[in-house]
Structure 1
Amino acid sequence: MQPHLQPRAATRPPARAQHGFTLVEVLVALFIMAVMAGMAWQGIDGLVRTRDGAQQASESTLRLGTVMAQWDADLEHLQQTPATPTLKFDGSSLRLTRRHRDGLQLVLWTMQQGKLHRWASPAVTRVQELQDWWFRSQQWSVIQADALPMLDGVAALQIYFYQQGDNTWSNAQSTGNVSTGKSGNRTAKPPPGGGTPPGGAPGNSPPADAGTAGANGNGGVPTLPDTDSGDDTLPIGIRLVLTLPQGRLLRDVALQPAQ
């Protein structure tokens, strides 16, 4: 009887031991990832800041353009009437009477607590109503809730008029009742922007300095200037000077052509 042969089992080589990352390698990898994440965050933050700055500048420019458009529209619709002065500046507020599709309207531009506000009365068709709104416009606490804030950060507000007979820019406050067309006699440094009227010839003498009188100039008692006496001639130009955080803004508007 022959012996039974059994196949020999195949022998396998011993398995190699598998090694993972060491603690030092993991820490180095985490450090590199943290540095890359920080650099990426700085780049994203810079892009966001640039976008926000550009958006803020664009909004500021659009807002300023809207304010100046409203300013021009008010001056373009001035209406002379014996009931109230057409234009009057008291050092911090400019009151004007303008046309409206429903009648006449009293508009107030004023600087209060570093902000430029605009307030407008309802359109009226009666003299007494227009004069009543004139009295109310001199009481800021009464109309403050209805005033619209136009610009922030206004450090100073100055108004100059270019008079027909004087051929020079003069401080609007020094003229008293502006609708009389008579300039004051005070002299001081020229207004910002030089002495050239809007679309006219250069002036010949320095204007009066900007004043800082109170809201009414009579101890706070509301008054209605006498508009029946004197020549009701408007100046041919008005200059607005605003001191803003970005710098000084100068705006010239021609009210009527020189004769």
Structure 2
Amino acid sequence: MKRIARSDRGLRGNTRQRGFTLLEMLIAIAILAVIAVLSWRGLDSVIRGRATISNAMEDERVIAQLFDQMRIDARQAATDDEAGQPAVQIGNGSLQIVRGVFAPGTPPRLQVVRYRLSNGQIVRYASPPLANVGEVRRALSSGDSTGGWSAIPLMGGVGSLATRVYIPDKGWTTRMSDVLSQINQNDNNLKVPQLGNAPLPRAVSGIQVAVGAHNLQVPLTRVFLVGE
């Protein structure tokens, strides 16, 4: 019997591998490009979010440090009698406190502290420890740029620093004349025989500070007790 030759042309045609068309390649490239753009935008959003959070945390730390230092100075404020003048003075975007300095192994001293807005920064100026009222007066007359004063910037980007003080039985005021009037009244009250041995009351029992900054929608306001 004569053998019949089988053709494998069809078999070879069925097993031939088919490649990607140009259109399919373009679609794949477009999909990968979209995925890359979305990934980049997501990463950029995460980085920006982290930067925003870090900046906000740093701002909160600076603000907390500023108000904590003010609270400490107000709490350590001397009396008007010890300072030989109003222990707390305000005006022209500044706050001045005559406070006590208490270090182990040394006698109590006085110190003049000033918070002042200068070139968009709140700067804390502090005199060296002072032994008596006379040294306090000399320190005040010499200014805070000489005589061993320290200057520490506490907060930048500040647009305003507003202060007012609380006088018992009279309320809040921004006028130092009200403070001086209260000191005179307290001094006159001590001339009454029944109150002759009583200590001179504080003319100011509270301080309110409002800080306005470029990154704040509204000023931040804090109230500090004096000598507490």
- Do Structure 1 and Structure 2 share a fold, with TM-score over 0.5? yes
**1:125-164 correspondence runs (5 A):** 125-137=131-143, 146-164=150-168
Q: Which runs of 5+ in 1 are unaligned?
A: 1-10, 184-230
Q: CA deviation at 1:177?
A: 8.1
Contact 1:118 1:150 in 2 (8 A): yes
Aligned length: 195
Please name the residue that 2:223 is paired with: 252
Aligned to 1:97: 98
Alignment partner, residue 40 of structure 2 = 41
Check 1:165–1:177 CA distance in 2 against 1; reply closer, same or farther (3 A cut): closer
Whole-angstrom distance in 2 between the partners of 1:179 and 1:77? 21
Query: Contact (CA 8 Å) 1:181, 1:232: kept in 2 or not?
Result: no
Structure 2 counterpart SS, 1:91:
coil
- State the alpha-carbon separation in 2 of the partners of residues 248 and 162 from structure 1: 19
Q: Greater helix share, 1 or 2? A: 2
- 1:70, CA displacement in angstroms? 0.9
1:75 matched to which residue of 2? Answer: 74
Q: CA deviation at 1:131?
A: 3.0
> Mind listing any 5+ residue stretches in structure 2 that lack a counterpart?
1-6, 104-108, 185-199
Please give the TM-score of this superposition, normalised by the length of structure 2: 0.70
Tell me, yes or no, if the aligned pair for 1:89 and 1:159 is still in contact at 8 Å. yes
Q: Secondary structure at the match of 1:71?
A: helix
Q: Per-residue deviation at 1:37?
A: 0.7
Please report how far the alpha carbon of residue 121 of structure 1 lies from its aligned counterpart in structure 2 after TM superposition.
1.8
Q: What percentage of residue pairs aligned between the two structures are identical?
A: 24
Tell me how far apart the structure 2 counterparts of residues 256 and 18 of structure 1 sit (CA, whole Å): 91
Superposed, 1:1-259 pairs within 5 Å as 20-80=19-79, 81-83=82-84, 85-102=86-103, 103-137=109-143, 146-166=150-170, 168-171=171-174, 174-176=175-177, 178=179, 181=182, 233-245=202-214, 246=216, 247-255=218-226
**1:37-89 deviation line (CA, Å, top 9, x unaligned):** 11111112222222222222222222212211111100000113245541222
Superposition TM-score, scaled by structure 1 size: 0.63
Q: Secondary structure at the match of 2:158?
A: coil
Root-mean-square deviation (CA), in Å?
A: 3.2
CA distance in 1, matches of 2:144, 2:84: 16
